[in-house]
Amino acid sequence: MVALSAGIQTISNAQDLLDLLGEDEPTTEFTYATFKTTRIINGHSVENPADGVLLFMISHRFGKLNSGAYDFFGLDQATIRLGFEYGIGERLSVGIGRSSYQKAYDGFVKYKILRQSSGDRTMPLTMTWFSSMDLFSLKWQDTERKNYFSSRLSFVHQLLLARKFSDKFSLQVSPTFIHKNLVLTEADDNDTFAMGVGGRLKLTQRVSVNAEYFYLMPGSVANNFVNPLSIGFDIETGGHVFQLHFTNTQPMFERGFITETRGKWTNGDIYFGFNLSRVFTIKKPAEFRE
């Protein structure tokens, strides 16, 4: 009996040793929080709301800082966008929004194709596809001509490529294609190609500085539109994320801020604004469902 007990103890100790030596199945570690929310500043990040989570976002831009004391340096003027985004599974999300700029409505879909990971399966970056459609609902200026509903529509497609290099620094590039069914003049092109780049640098546990820039490819647009440049801060406070920023563009949806920016930083055409997001859990995560 003593010999049997000793044998069982030896087998148990051997099993414990094998566990310590790492005989478990290899695992894959996915990267989370490449960016703090679904926007870098104006443009989308690779992030989606979690499965079953509804995100409500209020985006606000005041007027130009160089408008002077009479307009309280832009605070007397305002442009706003209200939007909802919803996570469907781990990779897919959809969203809708309405802007006071051109009384525009927009809707989009985002799908996370690849997720940055290490361990058993290594992936160096996160890749997300973004497609949107917007509709401006301003009254037609020329009511004598025949105006088509389709002329109100524009379409945007982006491939969002991001990498979280460390706990403090993330970088994203965003090749972009925009098609407008109707343009202002014959000199304008219906199709626009642009390249976006954005980054996040974490300053403290709850504060980061973000920057974003979109470069319009030569020959894509006319009418003296300029490249949008934005700088700001993300501040996390529990269930809210405040994004405070300065930018030379007033619209807050892709077709608007990428192809219709006229403000110049060198002229003081700078808009102060913010994004405020709040999440609501509509459906419990799978691990908490009965």
Domain ranges of the chain: 47-288
Highest mean pLDDT among 139-143, 187-191, 248-252, 284-288 belongs to 248-252
Highest mean pLDDT among 13-17, 71-75, 227-231, 278-282 belongs to 227-231
pLDDT in tens, 54-77: 999 999 999 888 888 877 777 778
- pLDDT given for residue 285 in this prediction: 62
Confidence band (pLDDT; 50, 70, 90) for 163? Answer: very high
- pLDDT given for residue 24 in this prediction: 62
- pLDDT given for residue 124 in this prediction: 96
- pLDDT given for residue 2 in this prediction: 46
Half-sphere exposure of 115 (CA within 13 A, CB side): 17
More confident: 98 or 183: 98
- pLDDT given for residue 120 in this prediction: 86
More confident: 283 or 11: 283
- pLDDT given for residue 62 in this prediction: 92
Mean pLDDT rounded to a whole number for the chain? 87
- In the predicted model, what is the mean pLDDT of residues 120-137? 95
- In the predicted model, what is the mean pLDDT of residues 12-37? 70
Confidence band (pLDDT; 50, 70, 90) for 11? Answer: very low
Residue 17 confidence (pLDDT) above 80: no
- In the predicted model, what is the mean pLDDT of residues 187-211? 93
What is the pTM assigned to this prediction? 0.86
- pLDDT given for residue 270 in this prediction: 94
- pLDDT given for residue 6 in this prediction: 47
The answer regarding whether domain 47-288 maps to CATH 3.40.50.10490 reads no
- pLDDT given for residue 65 in this prediction: 83
- In the predicted model, what is the mean pLDDT of residues 231-242? 86
What gap in Å lies between CA 93 and CA 222, rounded to an integer? 34
